Structure 1
Amino acid sequence: MHPCLEGITLVAFDLDGTLVDSVPDLAAAVDAALSDLALPAPGEDKVRDWVGNGSRVLVERALTDALGEAPATAFLDTAHEGFLARYGEAPCARTRLYPGVREALEGLTASGQRLVLVTNKPEDFIAPILEATGIAGHFSLCLGGDSLPRRKPDPLPLTHVAERFGVAPGRCLMVGDSRHDIAAGRAAGFRTLAVPYGYNHGEPVAASGPDATVESLAQLVYCKSNCAITM
């Protein structure tokens, strides 16, 4: 096991950019929603840098890019509803697990770790993706960005998880791909681990100061002496 797991009994995972590459499906829904409003579709490359703060912020960024200014609230509401409808039509048509994810989840589950999912994605879309990718059975609890009054980078989802399962924050690990995951984990008193391949708005996630980094989540269960750790 990776040294960052020493003393850890609960591991919280982010979803988009950490376990799955969901941008192809998110971008298709954003493109369709904007096209429905007679606005130019931004395309996958732009959407990849906008993911991470929940669906409403994603749509707001797309509208701001298309309009050249921040959208009015009513227009944002309409566009967001359109995005949710479009995304709901095919939330996992092209979404795929990153290499090493299945091995990591299986290994951690076998070792007795309690695994939870804490994402800013709307809760309704979590189950279809987990079922489609075959990893639903690993998680004791899944929280979306609309499950609680506040979402990451606020620590509330993580403190809620720790309290729910009666685990001290110092025995919990937050695993994510963005500065929001690291900030939430740190604020909640969790240990933090980052993966560099996800959606961090074009910035290296290592700059956020996680306690450890891994190139692949498989390193959590197949760790060699050169695993990167800064704790």
Structure 2
Amino acid sequence: MHPILNDIRLVAFDLDGTLIDSVPDLAVAADAALAELGLTPQGEARVHDWVGNGSLTLMARALEAALGGAPDEALLARAHRGFLDHYGRVPCARTRLYPGAREALAALAARGLPLALVTNKPSAFIAPLLEAFGLDGHFALCLGGDSLTAKKPDPAPLLHVAAHFDVSPSACLMVGDSRHDIAAGRAAGFRTLAVPYGYNHGEPVALSRPDGTVESLAELV
């Protein structure tokens, strides 16, 4: 067992960029939404750096890049609806599970540790993705970006998780790939663990000073 798990009684995981590489499908949906508005698709490489703050912010960034300036609210709403429609139809055609993720989740669950999923992705997409990869049985609680009134980097979702399981935040671990995960974990009083392979807006996640880093989630167990 990895030393960062010492005295930990609950583990919360981010989803995109931590457990799954979802950017290929997110980019297809974002580009399709832009194309419907007569705008230039922005491509996977750019979308990679825009993921992490929820789908509305993703489309705001895509529109700003395509327009060369900030979109108005009406256009953003249309683009976001288009994105949700396209992504909802095929959320995991190109998405892949990161190596080590399945093994880590299974081993932690086998040890009796409650597992929670805390993502900024709209909650409607969580179940289809987890079911597609056979991970739906591992999480006792799943929160999306629209489950509460606040999302990461606000600590509210993590504090909600700790309270739900009646576990002190100091005995909880947040595992993620971005500065938003680390900031939320730190603000909530969680221990934090980062993976360096995800979507941290083009910046090394180590700059956020997590309590630990692993190259693969398999190192947890």
Q: TM-score, normalised by structure 2?
A: 0.99
| Separation in structure 2 between the aligned mates of residue 56 and residue 142 of structure 1, nearest angstrom | 20
Deviating runs (4+, > 3 A) in structure 1? none
1:154 aligns with 2:170: no
| Separation in structure 1 between the aligned mates of residue 107 and residue 218 of structure 2, nearest angstrom | 9
Per-residue CA distance 1:56-83 (angstroms, 9 max, x = gap): 0000000000000000011101110111
Gaps of 5+ in 1: 222-231
- Look up the equivalent residue of 2:46 and give its one-letter code: K
Cα deviation, residue 25, structure 1 = 0.4
SS in 2 for 1:4: helix
Cα deviation, residue 136, structure 1 = 0.8
Question: What corresponds to 1:43 in structure 2?
Answer: 43
Cα deviation, residue 192, structure 1 = 0.1
| Separation in structure 2 between the aligned mates of residue 78 and residue 102 of structure 1, nearest angstrom | 36
Per-residue CA distance 1:156-175 (angstroms, 9 max, x = gap): 00000000110000000000
SS in 2 for 1:136: coil
- Look up the equivalent residue of 1:35 and give its one-letter code: A
1:115 aligns with 2:119: no
| Separation in structure 1 between the aligned mates of residue 165 and residue 176 of structure 2, nearest angstrom | 20
Question: What corresponds to 1:190 in structure 2?
Answer: 190
| Separation in structure 2 between the aligned mates of residue 139 and residue 164 of structure 1, nearest angstrom | 13
Question: What corresponds to 1:86 in structure 2?
Answer: 86
Cα deviation, residue 112, structure 1 = 1.0
| Separation in structure 2 between the aligned mates of residue 37 and residue 133 of structure 1, nearest angstrom | 33
SS in 2 for 1:61: helix
1:11-26 correspondence to structure 2 within 5 Å: 11-26=11-26
1:56 aligns with 2:50: no
Question: What corresponds to 2:138 in structure 1?
Answer: 138
SS in 2 for 1:50: coil
Question: What corresponds to 1:10 in structure 2?
Answer: 10
| Separation in structure 1 between the aligned mates of residue 4 and residue 22 of structure 2, nearest angstrom | 27
Gaps of 5+ in 2: none
Cα deviation, residue 22, structure 1 = 0.3
- Look up the equivalent residue of 1:2 and give its one-letter code: H
Per-residue CA distance 1:130-149 (angstroms, 9 max, x = gap): 00011110000000000000
SS in 1 for 2:117: strand
Per-residue CA distance 1:5-32 (angstroms, 9 max, x = gap): 0000100000000000000100000010
SS in 1 for 2:49: helix
SS in 1 for 2:137: helix
CA RMSD of aligned residues (A): 0.4
- Look up the equivalent residue of 1:133 and give its one-letter code: F
Per-residue CA distance 1:169-191 (angstroms, 9 max, x = gap): 00000000000000000000000
| Separation in structure 2 between the aligned mates of residue 11 and residue 26 of structure 1, nearest angstrom | 26
Q: TM-score, normalised by structure 1?
A: 0.95
Cα deviation, residue 198, structure 1 = 0.1
Cα deviation, residue 37, structure 1 = 0.4
Question: What corresponds to 1:33 in structure 2?
Answer: 33
1:68-87 correspondence to structure 2 within 5 Å: 68-87=68-87
